[in-house]
Amino acid sequence: MLPHEEADCPFKASLYCSSCACYGHSLRTCPDPEMDRPIFRRMILPCFKESKPILELVNDESVLKSFLHSKSRLPPRAIKIAELRKLVALYADEEGYELCLLNL
């Protein structure tokens, strides 16, 4: 290992921060840790005006069943995904939410 200054360190230059997408430091030492990747639609589209709170769920059978179970709305065992979506949409309407199903 050749002696070198910290600013010229090849190891430090190879570090990548996934928070700010820059080389030269790691995620743990990021100078701007507040920068997050968008998770919700309202984070991507700041001009989006919400009239209701958003209920965002992954469009997956197990996720939708688990959500309905957590809300004490037990769906039948043999239920199709389209019926699950309708039950979740019904719950969202009753509780005053706008439903957003994410396809991941």
Tell me: the pLDDT tens digits for 82-103?
999 999 999 999 999 888 888 8
Q: Tell the burial category of 64 from Cβ atoms under 10 Å away from its Cβ (0-12, 13-18, 19+).
A: buried
Neighbours of 39 (CB within 10 A): 10
- Domain ranges within the chain, ordered by starting residue: 1-36, 38-104
- pTM score: 0.53
* CA atoms 102, 85, 71, 99: torsion sign: positive
Tell me: the pLDDT tens digits for 7-52?
778 777 788 877 777 788 887 787 776 655 555 555 555 545 557 7
- Who's near 19: CB < 8 A, 6+ residues apart? 27, 30, 32, 33, 35, 36
